[in-house]
Chain A
Amino acid sequence: MSRVNLFFTLLITVFLMPGLLHAETPEEKGLAIAREADRRDNGFQDSVATLQMILSNRQGRESHRKLKIKTFEMTDPKVGDKSLVIFDSPRDVKGTAFLTHSKILDPDDQWIYLPALGRIKRISSSNKSGPFMGSEFAYEDMSSREVGKYSYKWLRNEPCGKLTCFVVEAHPLYEKSGYTKLISWIDTKEYRTWKTEYYNRRGDLLKVLKLSDYKLYLGKFWRAKNLLMENMITGKKTRLVWSRFDFRTGLRENDFSRSRLKTAK
C-alpha cells in the first residue's frame, strides 16, 4: 500500500510538479495576451486614416464630424506612439489639429493648433476621462493603447461565434483614468478585440465598445472599420466609421513635431 502511495507520489512529483510550477497565473496569461496582441501590431511604421464620427443622443439626433488621424510608431517600447488628429468638420473647427506624444504612465504631451487665431497651445493631458469632441469616446479611449498602461487579468475563454475569445480584464495604471477596469473580448486566432466594457470609478458599467468589419492590411494589421461606443447610463452613442487606412506612407517623426502643427494636413 505504502509502496503504491510512494509510486504515485513519485509520479506526481516527476510529471506534474513541473507543470504546476510553470502554470500561468491569470495575471501572467492576461499580460501575455496583451503582449501578443501588441506584438502582432508591431511594424506598421506609420498610418494615415480618415474617419467619420457620428454622435447621436438618446432622441436620435445626429451630429457628424470628419477627421484624419496620423500615427507614427515609436519602436522603443518605453515611448508611446506619436499621433496627429486633424479635423475637417464641423467646419468651424476645420484645420484644428491635436498633436500627442504619448507616454506609457506619465501624462502625454499634447498641443492643439487653433487656426482661427493661428495659435498653438500646449494643453493639459490630465483630462483623460473628458469627452473627445463631445463624443462618447474619452481622450484616453482615443490615445494609443500601450501594453504598459494597464495591468491585466485573464478571466476565461469563451466561444464568440465561430471563434473563441479570451476575456481579459485590464486595470489602468496611469493616473486620472475615468475607469476602474476594462473587460475585453479578444479572439484567440488573430488577437482582435471585438468588444470592450468600460467600468467607471464607482465600478458600474459605463460604456460598451463594439468593433466590427475587421479588415487585414499589408497582410498583417487588422483594423476594425466600424466602432460603436454606447454609454449605458445616458444612452448616447458614438459611431466611428473608418473610410480608409494607409500604412507605411513614409511619414517622418519630424512630421509630428510641434512646429509642424500649422501645416499638418
Chain B
Amino acid sequence: MFICQCCQLNRKWQFERARVPKYKPEYKPGHREVTCKRFSRIGYSLLTLLCIFLPGLISAARAEVTILDVRAGLHPDKTRVVLELNKVAFYQISYIEGVDSAKEREIVIDLRETPDREKMAALASRADGIGLLERIVVEDNAGSTRFRIILRKAAVIDRSFTLKPDLGHAFRLVFDLKAVSTAEWKRLVRLTALPPKSGNVSKDALEPAPASSVMKIPEHVPPVEVPVVPEIPPESSPVADEPPDDESYDDMMTGDSNFTLSGYVEVEVRGFTQSAMDPGPQNWTTSFALEPLLEYVSDSSNSQFTFRPFGRVDIHDRDRSHFDIRELKWTGTMDRWQVTVGIDTLFWGVTESNHLVDIINQDDNLEDIDREDKLGQPLASVSYDSDFGVFSLYAMTYFREQRFPGRNGRLRLQLPVDTSQTQYEAGAGKWHTDLAIRWSHVIGDFDVGLYHFRGTDRQPEFIFGADGSGNPVLIPRYNLINQTGLDIQGTFEDLLVKFEGIRRTGSAGDYWAMTGGFEYTFYGLAGGDSDIGLLAEYLYDDRGQRATTPFDNDLFMGLRWAMNDIDSTEILFGAVVDLDTAAKFVNFESSRRIGDKWKVSLDARFFLGFPVNDPLFALSRDDFFQIRLARYF
C-alpha cells in the first residue's frame, strides 16, 4: 500500500522500512518517478500537495493518536512547524483561501487519526504569531484531526519530513514554511481541493491524487531550458551535470545545528637575540596554546551564546603559562536593542600604533606586548541602535588585574612585580563597579565614537616595596579615573585618516593624549593583485617625560603589504621613533595560511636605544622573534 510521492522528503530521513521509490537517473517520459526528478530539479517541492505519508507500519484502522505538542520556530530562512505525536500519522495538506478576502490564507493539515480531544484545545497556543504564522488552530474534523495554519502572507510547505523518537522527543512531523508570491499561492489553492470542513474525511480523499493531476503541476513551473552559449564546453551543460537534488541541510537531524565548535591549537617558539639583564631567563622558550570557540546561535540568531577559553603552557618559563576566559557570554538581540551578559572582549579604536581609547579589557601581557591580546572582562551591556547612532552602556563588575612575567621570564620590568600586594584606590578593590557609556555613529565618510569611562584604570602605577624575604619588588597600584575618549576615522577612497584622543582625570593627575595619522593604500600594485599600504601616525601625551606610557612625542611609520593570494600572505613592518631621544621600537609581523587549516606567522620586535628613564628601557635586551604554527579546526 505504497502511497506517497515522497520527492521532497529528504532521503536521509525516510524510515528504513518505508517503501519509497528511488529516483532513477534515466529519463522515462510519462513515468511518475520522472515527475519526481523534474520536480526536485526545479527545486520546487510542490509535491507535499496531496501527499500522504506512510512511514513504517501500515495500519488500515483509524487509531487514536495523541498530539503531544504543537510548536513553531522562526529560522533565518523559514518558519518551522512541528507536530509531536505519540505515533506516526497519515496526513494531507491543502491550501485554502477565505471566500471574501484573499488575505485569509490557511494551510490545512488533516491527520487521518482520531485526536485526543482533551488535549487538543490547549496545544496550539505556543505556536502563535511567529514568522509567516499568524496562529495555529487545532480542531476536530468529524473524527479526524485538522491543523489550520493561518498565515500572515502566502506561503508554501517547502519541505516536510518525519523525525524518529530521540532525545526525549516522540515522533515529529516537521513542516518548513516559506513565503511564495501571490500568483504561486493562487496556483496552490487551485491545485488542492479541500475536503468539506464538516464532512467526513473519507479514506478516498486521503489517497494520492491521480497521477494525471500530479503531472499537471510542472506545466506551471517553467522547466529549465539550457542554452548552449558559444564557447561553453559541453560539460558545463546544466542537464548533464545536474546533481541529484539532495541538498543536505545541516540542521535536519536535531532540527538545527545551533552549536558550532571551532578554534585552534598552536605551537610557538620565541628566540631572544641577547642574553637577559638578569642571569636567570633563557634565550629560547617553547610554548603551546589552545583557544577553542563554542558557539550557540538560536534559530532566529537573536540569541547567541559564546564560550572562548584560552590557555598557554610555556615549557621553559612556567610563569608565562596562563589560562583565561576570553568570552563566556550571552547576547540577545531584539530589534534595535542588544544585551550582553557575561565575560566579553571588545575593542574600541582606529589607530594602528597605539590603542589609546581601548579601555574595557585588561591587556594580556603574558601573551604578547602589542596590547592586542586582552583578558576577558565580566560585564553587562545594553546598546540601542538609534537613527542618531548606537548608544551603549557597560557595567563592569570585576576588575581584571594585569599579570607579569616571573623572575625567569623575559619582557619584564627591571624588578619583579609582586601582585600579592596589589593596591586599589577603590574601597571595593577588584569588586568596584566600573561604568562606561559610548556613542558611535557613521556620518557619511566618518565613523565616530565618543565615550566616558568611570572606574579603575587598567594600567597600574608602580610603587617600590619589598616582598616577604625583603627583596625589592614593584607593587602595582590601580587608581580610579574618569576618562573621556574620542575616535574618528575618515574614509576617502584610498586614504584613511585616523584619530584617537583621551582626556583623563583622577588622583594620579590629569592629562590628555592622542594618536593620529593616516593610512594610504596603493591597490593592485604594478598591475598585480597585491596592495601596499603606507602608515604614519603621531603619538602624543601631554605629561611628556613623566608619562607612564612610552609614547609621549613619537612618530610611527609603517608599511603593510597584502599579497591577496590564496594563502592570505601579509606583512606589516613599522617603527615608533621617540622624537626626543631617537629611541626606536621596531615591529615586524607576517603571516600566511598553509593549505586550508594551517597558519604560520613570524613576528619580530626590537627595542633600540632606549635611555634609562624610558619605560621601555627594561626591554632593551629583550629583542625577540617568534614563530607560531597554528592548526585550526
Contacts and interface: CB of A to CB of B under 8 A. Distances in A.
B216 to A, nearest CB: 16
B597 interface: yes
B363 to A, nearest CB: 13
A256 to B, nearest CB: 11
Contacts of A194: 227, 229, 232
A41 to B, nearest CB: 13
A217 B597 CA distance: 35
A90 interface: yes
A78 interface: no
B440 A214 contact: no
A249 B76 contact: yes
A57 B221 contact: no
Interface string A194-229: 110000000000001010111111111000001010
A164 to B, nearest CB: 8
B297 A265 contact: yes
A156 to B, nearest CB: 12
B494 interface: yes
B178 interface: yes
Interface stretch (B87-95, B167-175, B269-277, B331-339): B331-339
Given A162-B227, A249-B77, A252-B335, A228 B236 contact: yes
Contact of A117 (B77, B262, B347, B440): B347
B390 A127 contact: no
B222 A246 contact: no
A216 B566 contact: no
A126 B494 contact: yes
Interface string A71-91: 000000000000000000111
B523 A130 contact: yes
Contacts of B231: 195, 208
A250 interface: yes
Interface stretch (B14-22, B118-126, B180-188, B409-417): B180-188
Given A126-B523, A254-B336, A131 B442 contact: no
Nearest to A56: B566
Contacts of A5: none
Contact of B523 (A94, A127, A134, A218): A127
A251 B333 CA distance: 13
A185 interface: yes
A145 interface: no
A161 B228 CA distance: 4
A134 B565 contact: yes
Contacts of A90: 593, 596-597, 632
B181 A218 contact: yes
Nearest to B569: A134
A92 B569 CA distance: 13
A28 B191 CA distance: 42
Contact of A63 (B333, B345, B496, B566): B566
Given A127-B531, A213-B242, A92 B632 contact: yes
A146 interface: no
B60 interface: no
A210 B523 contact: no
A158 to B, nearest CB: 7
Contacts of B630: 92
Contact of A185 (B229, B336, B349): B229
B523 A161 contact: no
Interface string A88-115: 0111111000000000000101000000
B131 A250 contact: yes
A218 B227 contact: no
A89 B374 CA distance: 24
A246 B347 contact: no
Nearest to A159: B227
Interface in A131-176: 131, 134, 158-163, 165, 176
Interface string B124-165: 000000010000000000000000000000000000000000
A244 B45 CA distance: 14
B442 to A, nearest CB: 6
Contacts of A55: 566
A119 interface: yes
B565 A216 contact: no
A242 to B, nearest CB: 10
Contacts of A129: 523-524
Interface in B25-82: 42-44, 74, 76-78
Given A92-B264, A94-B262, A134 B347 contact: no
A89 B262 CA distance: 10
A122 B351 CA distance: 12
B114 to A, nearest CB: 36
Which interface residue of A194, A250, A262 has the most chain B CB atoms within 10 A? A250
A130 B224 contact: no
A243 B247 contact: yes
A257 B227 contact: no
B226 interface: yes
A133 B210 CA distance: 52
A85 B224 CA distance: 29
Given A127-B531, A258-B440, A259-B385, 7 more contacts: A90-B596, A120-B347, A124-B496, A189-B225, A212-B241, A257-B390, A263-B333
27 contacts: A48-B76, A64-B596, A90-B632, A92-B632, A107-B493, A109-B442, A117-B372, A118-B345, A122-B442, A124-B521, A131-B564, A161-B226, A161-B228, A163-B227, A176-B523, A189-B225, A213-B238, A218-B179, A244-B249, A246-B78, A246-B178, A247-B179, A248-B179, A249-B78, A250-B131, A259-B385, A259-B440
A-B pairs with lowest CB-CB distance, top 6: A246-B77, A91-B632, A160-B227, A161-B228, A161-B227, A163-B227
Interface of B: 42-44, 74, 76-78, 131, 178-181, 183-184, 221-222, 224-232, 236-238, 241-242, 247-249, 262, 264, 297, 301, 304, 331, 333, 335-336, 338, 345-347, 349-350, 372, 374, 383, 385, 390, 440, 442, 447, 489, 491, 493-496, 521, 523-524, 529, 531, 564-568, 593, 595-597, 599, 630, 632-633
Interface of A: 48, 55, 57, 63-64, 89-94, 107, 109, 117-124, 126-127, 129-131, 134, 158-163, 165, 176, 178, 185, 187, 189-190, 194-195, 208, 210, 212-220, 226, 228, 243-244, 246-252, 254, 257-260, 262-263, 265
